[in-house]
Structure 1
């Protein structure tokens, strides 16, 4: 009799546990999603507070879900993808306020305080650690939908100078024999604005006289078209000011076309032996 009672109790507990788990799963599935019109990617400037957007990095912030439990999404800044979670305040009909935190397992993590009005997202980012040396940032983003376009090119009006790499060179004054030291930087040619490695298989005759920076930029433009978020400032600096650039992915290798894969292999091969053109430029 005792064994039967114990067995009955165990079965009852297991049945109750299963029912509770099913109820929890059902509740999770039926949680009402809020403000679905806010879902999507927001792209724009991420800049030091004191510069007010004059010097910036292009960042993306994506909102994936909003329920009564909170907001979930992710941000990509400087090629680093960080998960976001936080709260929403929609009491004011004229705006929606979000407070979103990064995980906190890195010293560089912080919290976003965001105000959304229409398709515009304005706010600040502050480091989570009070003793952090990182500065407060401003962000000004707009909602955009990403669509891969292989025809996108760098603007022909730009000067494509690599300010992240320099070397000192000895220069002579025009009126005497004395000399001075001046910093010179890598400069790309106009080839970066008209050679498209996404649409056409590039010929060796088109590449053999190009400088190393030309080859790097032509290759990186392929990745930029796919929405790749560059991790190095040296690569980002040429795309942050392009209106079409949307850094929303941290890996796009599987998205490359056969033409792009072929061209990237060729560009890498030529870049191994290419030289660079250095010159002096004002900042």
Structure 2
């Protein structure tokens, strides 16, 4: 094969580079010609796969699957009690048009066009809730998440960002450690109070049961026409008889009226 065509092929290959696109992404191709041709972002993105491009052409990988962005908030002051709290907010987005977002907003589209506005939305809405609502009221937290989601979607639509806001979730809200210790101690004190109240109620019920039992015994004694001592001896005889019935023939029960003992059993 002649040397000239080989030389031309070698020069052609050296002027090219291979651009690969991974699944879940699209590659926005950006042309930067050195001598002739038009530069800029191409109108069509490259789908998963690979292609050979001029060496001056670069590729920007853009995720087309949902992405999650974690924003941290420290010392946000709650309503009413003015207690600083820390929490994370998780924003789930999906880019609808990779080419447009690179053409109009660039690689740092989130930082430049959404980040601070979103953080302001979260702060302004979250500070309308008390510490107790953010800590333990699931309904209030859900209402807050819905409000943040709706307001963020409106912001994205008004700004024309080619992005879908899929969801917003708040992480666990935590106050300062000293405040948290005080809350835990208050909870322990409340639990101790509940335990003591339950014990008091059980004791009151026991007393009432004893009073009712004593009243029934006294009514029974009056019905039999016995004085208190006679009734006590009668109850003692009943108790011994029950003991004898339980132990059977293997024991002797001595029943006495104080003067004449009587052996029950053998």
TM-score normalised according to structure 1 size: 0.17
Higher Rg of the two aligned structures = 2
The structure whose residues are more often strand, as a share, is: 1
Bigger RCO (CA 8 Å, 6+ sep): 1
Structure in which a larger fraction of residues adopt helix: 2
